[in-house]
Structure 1
Amino acid sequence: MISSLILAAALILIAAGMPVAFAIGIAGASYFLLPSTFLPDSTAVQRIVAASQSFPLLAVPLFILLGNLMNSAGITSRLVGLATTLTGWMRGGLAQSTLVLSTLMGGVSGSAVADAAMQARILGEPMVEKGYNRGFTGAILAIGGLITATLPPSLGLILYGYLGEVSIGRLFIAGIMPGFLLLTTLMIATWYVARRDGYQPENDRLPTLAEVGRDVKDGFWAILFPVWLLVGIRFGFFTPSEAGAFAVAYALVVGFFIHRELTLAKMLDALVQSLRDIGMIMLIILFSGTFGFVITFERVPQSIAEFTLTAITNPTVLLFVVSGFLLFLGTLVEATVLVMLLTPILVPVVTAAGIDPVHFGLVMMTLVTFGGMTPPVGVSMFTVCGILRCSYRDYTIQMVPLAGAVLAMVTLMILFPQIVMFLPNHLM
């Protein structure tokens, strides 16, 4: 009951026009002022500080800085040029190219918020300049990063496999087919939006091999950039946070010495813009620490899980109900926290109900990650809208077709488990 009032207070403050960080912070901190709360007031401050004491959180400012440096170093323009050549013949070609780039570039930070910030900073303004709606731009850049919640190397799947004692190798193999099917469904949804809103192809014909070869040669160092990151993380050369530092150094070297487009003045502008973005985003993340603590301290996830799992016995119905529960919680609590909190609770029960834990893991990671990209308080949504300066209302309206594609894909994963289990069953 109290947690419902706290959530309602946050939504009312947001609707009244209060900045999101302060709305979440005030609603969460007010919990500690209630007479029925037996925690000291200082706990609210402690939770804000605790939210900052996270080594993986270093990825957020590093990848925000990276996005600004890539724009100034000529890396972004070359990646966009290549992607536009490959997909520009499709309706809404630039939007389609962002999905391909999200699949290639996303996930390198290990943080959905960092990925969303990087994608918005790199690709947002080029899309807006081409006439795309800001809300749609924010929605496709945020939701496009969802693909990497399933494609290996997914750090979320590693954490799930470790906590649930599930084979990480099977989880990685199982995520390949859903990941590419999700890319396909999002591209179909993007085509629908482009047709509805009149977004035209960038090119009037298919690219020739000569054109593709020219753009690959021109953007060689830009193409090599995500390869270095993915290989480095996958084989343990550096952690996701260290990958952010490596990426910044790489962008500086390419910008100053290879492309020679990065100047000291441009670097200073990138640093100033990054400070503004980091301040806004980190304030939301830190204040959401108090809000998330209230949700977990009131045992909302555990209570809903216990009720759901004892009231339903049919495996398919159970999976649908748990999926709705995970999607709802994903809008309130960061995905990694949910995985750590709920995996030990849910895995034994769904396994006893006859659901393969590998199958459940892919469904769970997709939904808790997607929740952070949706209203009412998805952190990734706030991050992208803040960077692109688009309204949450516009974002929500424009994301409906893309959200429909994601939910349709999750529904197929639930109804047809072989979409997830085909590869691991045949290869392992």
Structure 2
Amino acid sequence: MPSAVRFGVNYTPSEGWFHHWLDFDLDSVRADLDSIAALGLDHIRVFPLWPYFQPNRTLIRPRAVEQLRALVDAAGERGLDVNVDGLQGHLSSFDHLPAWTRTWHRRNLFTDPDVLQGQAAYLRTLAAALADRPNFLGMTLGNEVNQFSAGPHPDPDRASSTEIDTWLDRMLAACAQGAPGRLHLHAEYDATWYQDDMPFTPAQAARRGAVTAVHSWVFNGTAQRHGRASVPAEHHAAYLVELSKAWAEDPHRPVWLQEVGAPAPLVPAEHAAAFTEATVRNVLDCPDLWGITWWCSHDVSRRLADFPELEYGLGLLTNDRRPKDTALVLARAAAEPSRAVPATRTTALVVPADPSLRSVCAPGGAVYDAFFRLTADGARPTTVLGTHADDRDRLARRGITEVVTPEQVLPTPQGGTRS
């Protein structure tokens, strides 16, 4: 039986990076898409830059929308489905926000009524423009927009979790109004799961939108603490997938590994293929995985300045569209003719339900360390909220037969272990 897991890539244009929207060249886009399709992948995630598409709150440029439609059509001609990120937002260390939200027009991205009206109109317009395209998967609200809502961003648009609830509901509704029935979701970086004061919460990630999205990057302290070939590094993506399930109400809610990559120098280029193979193998052992979307398709050109060094070499393909060893690893996984459905994970690690305590799930935290100790012992753990740990019906729906706390797993100060 063919695998139901989707394999794709985040599309970074080989010419001009995402600034290609300013000098849109469909022939160049087609050549990029040919190189992606040749890997046997089935979808891409694309990034309109918000200031280029909506430079004024009441101006959504028709020509930019038509160029997006042309890109989606070109992808469809090559057998590629497309997810579209709307509010860009933040990409590869750069913020891309329209002038009508900054400096002299400074307004909160998550609470200002005029900004919300403009955002909703923009998302609805993009979704509606693609609603009749059979290869349009749906909208992601934006790329890691939670980084605007709290530190360490240097100028955050602060909001409460209740205000973020309202923002998410309104933006997802706008996408659904534009393109009913499609796969609309939101996606944040891992501070949602790890940072105590982040107003975007795990419950929001696991309950709002069509699927849960996780973004896995081992430069978050994982590779620094444990090394590139460690159990935590090679299972970090699987950890985030399983961590998300503690907050999900649906016991079989799909989880999308929407971003994952092999960042140098923590994962040197000569070891990137091995890291990719281990990451993919381990995350495929997670039940209810929707898909794996690698970051990213093509390297950033060295002619572009001021990117962090790691960003230049993250592509599956070089800037002149040649596949790297990492691309071949992903292509082999995508081409696997059949794959057994992962067995249910029957051991659940208890996670605090209080989001102000979520740092215990971060690198160095008790939940994090316990999860990887269990993994190293072959236990294949998942997670459950402490408030659900004694709910037999809920545990049974998930197939959980054993519940353990971090204290029962972690080494004692004397060096022994608690059973």
Work out whether the TM-score is over 0.5. Answer: no
Higher strand share: 2
Question: Which structure shows the bigger proportion of residues in helix conformation?
Answer: 1
Higher relative contact order (CA 8 A, sep 6+): 1
Q: What range is the shorter-chain TM-score in?
A: under 0.3
Task: Calculate the TM-score normalised by the size of structure 2.
Answer: 0.24
